[in-house]
């Protein structure tokens, strides 16, 4: 092979080489080849081959600052610029070549040789430094010196080949010493692609390096092209996947919409704008809403108009004719289905115009609002009944106050007429009539639901017997009523723990339902008896534990209920009666009353046979006292007063006067006040044993608030309430534990609330015996508060 000597112009222009003082001047033997200079360092036996051209004069080294380490001995000038950690060059960042040699002069020579190859040249002076560079970036080629102190080229190549990310990089070994076949074989075995001996011809080196650089660039170009194609494939797949997902979502949405529209009571339609507005299209829901298939309307253009209610037809047709001018319309009408049923429909339509803006067709919806209108009527009826109830309750309350005056005055009058039998008889008749009026007002208050739930021991047998006359008037002459009491040899009927007025209301509702179920007449049977559950029972959303209960059974011989109606019997606003004849709340109220009382309901019903309602009400812990008329007459003497002081408070002067007379006649010392302020003044001036106050008083404090403040000031005070409402009042109950102002900041609200919650309420109008018992119980059984000092402690 012919070798020729090449002199790079750039190197030749450099100044003469001046070695540093610490670098020994070696003997230099020049060769004919460019870059083949043999250097024999002083005191060394080995021969080192360098790549320095023979005619190259290295520049003088630049001054080194004191803080910067001195360059290696023999390092050419400019070595500081060949730092191995230099950032990549932007214009050569596409390909990089790693040059590894422990001799800086060889690094300098290779860099000068390859500088015009448009590649990033990274220099390393050891195998360890080369490995660090390989961790930071990829290289197209590695020029690796074999003979290096520490880790030689073979070991470095083996480590490079062990790493997954660097094993693909081609390695060319450069050596001046290891030239025998064993070293060459080891080099190739270590993964080298070529094994070159120093001195290296620069032209040959550049040719070999350029081959690998071009190969690297083409490989990277192929990779980029493959990656671009893969990105296109991935993007195409992503778009196709999103399209599939969108199509699936659209299909699911359409299915959901179709399912929803199929379940909703709504019909979608299009129609012509010609006279009569014949349908073009109706949705499949027409069968469920209008009672016939869509094809019936399309085949017979006059079928829809014929099905309109006669009272609505002219109005609907006139309104539809005006849609040409308005562009839209909303009309409600009644539609008669083929099966004879009647539905309320809300028809909303809009004119659809063509591209020229001319009316083309009609698009609309028909909504079934039958149930909505029924609910609105039921709500209006319920609101009307609530208003009637409020009015009734207010009238009954005032009427009770007037009856209180009548009954109290008659009771004062009757004993004084003992010498005049005729006058005494007339007074007794007036008293009995007033008592019957009192019973009627109590029922009116029960209807108005102007009372709280107050469970008490109640004899259900006596309650049913007492309502016999009222039930007979309610049933009329076509229905016979039979009240069945327990057998004579059976165990006496237990006492139930229920709210008396609510029990009467529930029984009256059941009687009215039985009457409506027997329009042609029949028999109503009411029975009371004891019942015992050996284990827990459940029915109609209620559960009761094992124990003793009193059964109230109401049976009729009416039409009965089919299973679907029986299942919804206690559902609020559900009724099978005609519009305006029932609210659907009666059985729901009974269900709530029994459940709140801790009882159970059972129903047996068969179409054409009749219905039986069974109400199981809990047994009271203490049976009620069954007194006689003679006991009533002796009640006044048995519960007479013992000189205690009673403060009577009522805003009605006549009622207050009767109460003062009745309390005084019982042997009590009586004080009176017309309101809360006057009562508190009397309480502060003199000792009072019992406060007897009306609950509802207009203006200022009501009766409960007066009692709370009186107890706060005088802890030994007892309290008895009176009310014109049944078993209570419409006034809000004080919350137990509610804070009351105290002089020293103490909050005795919990104690006051507990005492007030145990205070008895005497319903107006009351008899002298009722008043005597209530006063005595309040004075003897009601636990007073501790002294104020103890409460504060």
Region 209-238 average pLDDT: 90
Asked if the model's pLDDT at residue 208 lies above 70, the reply is yes
User: Three-class SS string for 127-147?
Assistant: HHHHHHHHHHCCCCEEEEECC
Q: What is the pLDDT of residue 15?
A: 37
Confidence tier at 176 by pLDDT (50, 70, 90):
confident
Confidence tier at 189 by pLDDT (50, 70, 90):
confident
Q: What is the mean pLDDT of the chain?
A: 76
Count, residues in the chain: 793
Q: What is the pLDDT of residue 569?
A: 72
Q: What is the pLDDT of residue 446?
A: 54
Region 215-229 average pLDDT: 89
Asked if the model's pLDDT at residue 185 lies above 70, the reply is yes
Q: What is the pLDDT of residue 239?
A: 93
Distance CA 462, CA 474 (A): 19
Confidence tier at 793 by pLDDT (50, 70, 90):
very low
Are the C-beta atoms of residues 652 and 406 closer than 8 Å to each other? Answer: no
DSSP letter assigned to residue 765: S
Confidence tier at 618 by pLDDT (50, 70, 90):
very high
Confidence tier at 143 by pLDDT (50, 70, 90):
very high
Are the C-beta atoms of residues 333 and 347 closer than 8 Å to each other? Answer: yes
CA distances from 683 to 438, 711, 774 (A): 33, 10, 21
User: What is the DSSP code string of 478-542?
Assistant: TEEEEEEPPPTTSPPPPPEEE-HHHHHHHHHHHHHHHHHH-TT-EEEEEEEEEEEESS-EEETTE
Asked if the model's pLDDT at residue 513 lies above 90, the reply is no
Confidence tier at 54 by pLDDT (50, 70, 90):
very low
Distance CA 537, CA 545 (A): 7
Structure tokens at 610: 């009749």
Share of the chain above pLDDT 90, in %: 11
Beta bridge partners of 353: 359
Share of the chain above pLDDT 70, in %: 74
Asked if the model's pLDDT at residue 762 lies above 90, the reply is no
User: Per mean pLDDT, which of 347-361, 374-388, 556-570, 578-592 is the most reliable?
Assistant: 347-361
Asked if the model's pLDDT at residue 75 lies above 80, the reply is no
Distance CA 510, CA 613 (A): 8
Structure tokens at 646: 């009673």
Asked if the model's pLDDT at residue 636 lies above 60, the reply is no
DSSP letter assigned to residue 761: E
Distance CA 327, CA 359 (A): 9
Q: Helix %, strand %, coil % for the chain, to 5?
A: 45, 20, 35
Q: What is the pLDDT of residue 441?
A: 66
Q: What is the pLDDT of residue 392?
A: 65
Distance CA 145, CA 604 (A): 107
Note if the pTM is more than 0.75. Answer: no
Q: Which of 189-203, 388-402, 602-616 has the lowest mean pLDDT?
A: 388-402
Asked if the model's pLDDT at residue 737 lies above 60, the reply is no
Which residue bears the tokens 């009724």? 575
Confidence tier at 96 by pLDDT (50, 70, 90):
very high
Task: Read off the pLDDT of residues 443-485 as tens digits, 9 standing for 90 and up.
Answer: 556 555 554 556 788 888 888 888 887 787 777 777 888 888 7
Region 423-433 average pLDDT: 77
Q: What is the pLDDT of residue 410?
A: 78
| C-beta atoms surrounding 44 within 10 Å | 11
User: Per mean pLDDT, which of 67-71, 281-285, 438-442, 625-629 is the most reliable?
Assistant: 281-285
Confidence tier at 100 by pLDDT (50, 70, 90):
very high
User: What is the DSSP code string of 654-691?
Assistant: HHHHHHHHHHHHTT-EEEEESSHHHHHHHHHHS--SEE
What lies within 8 Å, CB to CB, of 196 at 6+ separation is: 172, 173, 174, 175, 204, 205, 208
Task: Read off the pLDDT of residues 247-291 as tens digits, 9 standing for 90 and up.
Answer: 999 999 888 877 777 777 788 899 888 877 788 888 888 888 888
Task: Read off the pLDDT of residues 364-423 as tens digits, 9 standing for 90 and up.
Answer: 999 888 888 878 877 776 676 667 666 766 776 677 777 777 877 777 777 777 777 777
Asked if the model's pLDDT at residue 63 lies above 70, the reply is no
What lies within 8 Å, CB to CB, of 590 at 6+ separation is: 506, 509, 510, 570, 601, 615
Region 333-344 average pLDDT: 89
Q: Which of 44-48, 324-328, 552-556 has the lowest mean pLDDT?
A: 44-48
Report which of residues 575 and 176 the model is more confident about: 176
CA-based nearest residue to 761, from 686, 712, 703, 701: 703
Distance CA 210, CA 272 (A): 83
Region 307-314 average pLDDT: 90
Asked if the model's pLDDT at residue 661 lies above 70, the reply is yes
Which residue bears the tokens 């259900």? 460
């Amino acid at each position: 092979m012919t070798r020729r000597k090449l002199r790079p112009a750039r190197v030749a222009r450099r100044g003469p080489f001046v070695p540093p003082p610490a670098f020994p001047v070696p003997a230099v033997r020049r060769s004919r080849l460019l870059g083949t200079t043999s250097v024999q360092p002083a005191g060394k036996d080995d021969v080192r081959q360098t790549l320095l051209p023979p005619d190259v004069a290295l520049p003088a080294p630049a001054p080194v600052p004191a803080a910067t380490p001195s360059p290696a001995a023999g390092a050419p000038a400019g070595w500081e610029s060949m730092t191995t950690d230099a950032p990549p060059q932007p214009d050569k960042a596409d390909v990089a070549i790693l040059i590894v040699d422990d001799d800086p002069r060889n690094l300098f020579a290779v860099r000068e040789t390859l500088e015009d190859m448009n590649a990033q040249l990274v220099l390393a002076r050891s195998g360890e430094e080369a490995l660090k560079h390989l961790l930071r970036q990829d290289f197209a080629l590695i020029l690796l010196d074999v003979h290096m102190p520490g880790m030689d080229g073979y070991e470095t190549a083996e480590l490079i080949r062990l790493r997954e990310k660097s094993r693909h990089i081609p390695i060319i070994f450069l050596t001046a010493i290891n030239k025998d076949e064993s070293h060459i074989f080891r080099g190739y075995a270590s993964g080298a692609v070529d094994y070159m001996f120093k001195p290296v011809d620069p032209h040959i080196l550049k040719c070999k390096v350029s081959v690998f650089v071009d190969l690297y660039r083409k490989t990277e170009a192929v990779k980029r092209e493959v990656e671009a194609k893969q990105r296109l494939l991935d993007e195409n797949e992503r778009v196709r996947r999103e399209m599939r997902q969108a199509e699936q979502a659209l299909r699911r949405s359409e299915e959901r919409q179709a399912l929803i529209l199929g379940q909703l009571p709504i019909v979608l339609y299009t129609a012509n704008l010609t006279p009569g507005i014949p349908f073009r299209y109706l949705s499949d829901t027409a069968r469920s809403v209008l009672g016939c298939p869509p094809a019936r309307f399309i085949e017979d253009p006059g079928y829809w108009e014929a099905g309109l209610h006669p009272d609505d037809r002219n109005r609907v047709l006139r309104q539809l004719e005006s849609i040409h001018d308005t562009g839209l319309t909303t009309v409600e009408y009644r539609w008669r289905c083929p099966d004879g049923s009647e539905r309320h429909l809300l028809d909303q339509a809009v004119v659809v115009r063509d591209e020229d803006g001319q009316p083309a067709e009609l698009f609309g919806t028909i909504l079934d609002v039958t149930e909505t209108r029924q609910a609105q009527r039921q709500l209006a009826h319920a609101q009307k009944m609530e208003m009637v109830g409020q009015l009734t309750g207010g009238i009954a309350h005032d009427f009770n106050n007037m009856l209180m005056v009548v009954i109290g005055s008659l009771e004062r009058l009757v004993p004084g007429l003992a010498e005049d039998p005729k006058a005494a008889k007339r007074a007794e008749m007036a008293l009995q009539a007033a008592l019957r009026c009192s019973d009627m007002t109590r029922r009116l208050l029960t209807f108005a639901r102007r009372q709280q739930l107050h469970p008490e021991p109640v004899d259900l047998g006596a309650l049913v017997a007492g309502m016999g006359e009222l039930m007979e008037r309610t049933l009329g002459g076509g229905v016979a009523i039979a009240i069945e009491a327990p057998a004579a040899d059976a165990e006496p009927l237990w006492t139930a723990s229920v709210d008396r007025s609510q029990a009467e209301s529930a029984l009256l509702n059941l009687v009215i339902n039985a009457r409506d179920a027997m329009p042609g007449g029949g028999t109503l049977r009411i029975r009371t008896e004891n019942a015992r559950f050996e284990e827990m029972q459940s029915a109609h959303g209620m559960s009761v534990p094992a124990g003793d209960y009193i059964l109230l059974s109401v049976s009729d011989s009416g039409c009965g209920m089919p299973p679907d109606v029986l299942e919804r019997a206690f559902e609020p606003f559900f009724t099978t009666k005609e519009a305006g004849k029932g609210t659907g709340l009666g059985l729901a109220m009974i269900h709530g009353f029994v459940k709140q009382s801790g009882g159970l309901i059972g129903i047996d019903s068969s179409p054409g046979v009749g219905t039986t309602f069974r109400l199981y009400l809990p047994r009271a812990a203490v049976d009620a006292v069954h007194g006689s008329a003679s006991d009533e007459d002796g009640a006044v003497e048995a519960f007479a007063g013992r000189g205690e002081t009673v403060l009577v408070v009522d805003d009605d002067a006549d009622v207050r006067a009767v109460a003062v007379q009745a309390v005084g006649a019982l042997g009590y010392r009586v004080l009176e006040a017309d309101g809360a302020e006057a009562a508190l003044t009397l309480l502060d001036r003199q000792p009072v044993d019992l406060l007897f106050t009306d609950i509802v008083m207009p203006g200022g404090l009501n009766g409960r608030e007066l009692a709370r403040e009186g107890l706060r000031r005088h802890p030994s005070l007892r309290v008895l309430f009176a009310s014109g409402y049944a078993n209570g009042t419409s006034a809000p109950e004080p919350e137990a534990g509610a804070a009351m102002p105290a002089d020293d900041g103490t909050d005795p609200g919990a104690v006051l609330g507990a005492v007030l919650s145990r205070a008895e309420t005497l319903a107006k109008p009351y008899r002298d015996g009722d008043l005597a018992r209530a006063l005595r119980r309040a004075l003897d059984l009601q636990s007073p508060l501790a002294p104020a000092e103890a409460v504060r402690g």
